[in-house]
């Protein structure tokens, strides 16, 4: 039996401290690949054109247009390679191994140039505190890659992706794909009420586009900062009155007053008798809170 199959039968532990250095490094690598997708893909509402997608081997950009050719870049977390595939049949592989962000950036850009597909990106990482921001080409600090931890992370994403897709399928209104945002390093799915949202005071153009309409959004995040472990989250934007006080399932879920979202720790899901049912109850009950308190037209939006 393959290692991946073994993990799927029992969701793996992935304590934040056990792979924190690898997580930061991998976050920066996905940002580099994600910014290539941003550079090559036409704008789609709410920045859906920038996200990565879970595959049977890892994470992919999906096909990206490049002149008369098409390019796809895929993180393979089984054989631990970065696969670069072109529609003209050319393919390159770069090893995923302990190496600095700067080395990963330089090797990838050199390889794209050799394929006749040079790409220019903004090399400043996104959605990080200023003190943690190092340009990709200068980042020699982050250089860890624990292959086993990266594989476990992908296995969790693979499982979460399937549950999120089940949850998404029960909604017939506008909904996002299940997609991986490299800026925040999380897998997310979003439902929309169909109404425009009031502009956020002081919001930048990226945020204004992302939250132009009312949403109930949920996701999975491997943790960081005050959240010392992987967690599921759910929030409403704009947040309706009474949302924070709403009782949701399961009982282990709680509202974080600073992050302004409900959280459910991954370990509380992982050890449950039916992890799938527990996660679906969290997704449904937090959506119920957003939709009921926000007065969504649920009859028109749900099966």
pLDDT tens digit string along 166-214? 999 999 999 999 999 999 999 999 999 999 999 888 889 899 999 999 9
Give the DSSP letter of residue 175: B
152 & 89 share domain: no
Distance CA 172, CA 298 (A): 10
Q: Which of 138, 160, 177 is the last residue of a domain?
A: 138
Block residue for tokens 């790409």: 119
Residue partners of 171: CB distance under 8 A and separation at least 6 = 191, 301, 302, 303
Is residue 1 predicted with pLDDT exceeding 50? no
Nearest Cα residue to 72 out of 81, 61, 58, 80:
61
Distance CA 220, CA 282 (A): 12
Confidence bin at 5 (pLDDT 50/70/90): very low
**Residue 184 within any structural domain of the chain:** yes
What's the mean per-residue pLDDT of the chain?
95
> What b/e readout covers 232-245, taking b as 16+ CB neighbours within 10 angstroms?
bbbbbbeebeebee
Number of domains in the chain: 2
Q: Which of 121, 138, 155 is the last residue of a domain?
A: 138
156 & 294 share domain: yes
Residue numbers of the domain that contains 72? 16-138
**Residue 49 within any structural domain of the chain:** yes
Confidence bin at 8 (pLDDT 50/70/90): low
253 & 165 share domain: yes
Is residue 128 predicted with pLDDT exceeding 50? yes
182 & 83 share domain: no
**Per-residue pLDDT tens for 46-92?**
999 999 999 999 999 999 999 999 999 999 999 999 999 999 999 99
How many residues are present in the chain? 303
Residue partners of 127: CB distance under 8 A and separation at least 6 = 183, 184
């Amino acid at each position: 039996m393959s290692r991946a199959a073994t993990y799927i039968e029992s969701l793996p532990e992935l304590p934040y401290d056990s792979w924190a250095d690898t997580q930061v490094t991998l976050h920066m690598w996905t940002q580099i690949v994600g910014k290539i997708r941003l550079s090559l893909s036409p704008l789609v509402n709410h920045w859906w054109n920038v996200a990565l997608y879970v595959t049977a081997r890892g994470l992919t950009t999906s096909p990206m247009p490049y002149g008369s050719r098409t390019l796809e870049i895929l993180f393979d977390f089984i054989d631990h390679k970065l696969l670069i595939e072109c529609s003209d049949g050319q393919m390159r592989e770069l090893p995923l191994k302990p190496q600095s962000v700067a080395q990963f950036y330089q090797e990838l850009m050199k390889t794209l140039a050799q394929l006749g597909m040079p790409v220019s990106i903004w090399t400043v990482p996104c959605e990080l505190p200023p003190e943690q921001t190092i340009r990709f080409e200068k980042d020699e600090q982050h250089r860890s890659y624990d292959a086993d931890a990266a594989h476990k992370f992908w296995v969790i994403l693979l499982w979460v992706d399937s549950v999120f897709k089940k949850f998404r399928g029960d909604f017939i209104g506008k909904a996002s794909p299940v997609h991986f945002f490299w800026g925040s390093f999380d897998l997310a799915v979003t439902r929309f009420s169909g109404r425009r949202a009031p502009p956020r005071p002081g919001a930048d153009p990226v945020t204004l586009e992302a939250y132009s309409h009312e949403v109930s959004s949920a996701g999975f995040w491997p943790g960081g900062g005050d959240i010392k472990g992987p967690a599921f989250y759910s929030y409403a934007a704009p947040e309706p009155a009474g949302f924070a006080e709403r009782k949701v399932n399961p009982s282990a879920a709680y509202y974080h007053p600073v992050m302004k979202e409900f959280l459910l720790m991954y370990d509380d899901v992982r050890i449950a008798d039916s992890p799938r049912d527990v996660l679906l109850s969290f997704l449904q009950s937090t959506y119920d809170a957003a939709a009921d308190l926000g007065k969504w037209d649920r009859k028109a939006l749900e099966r």
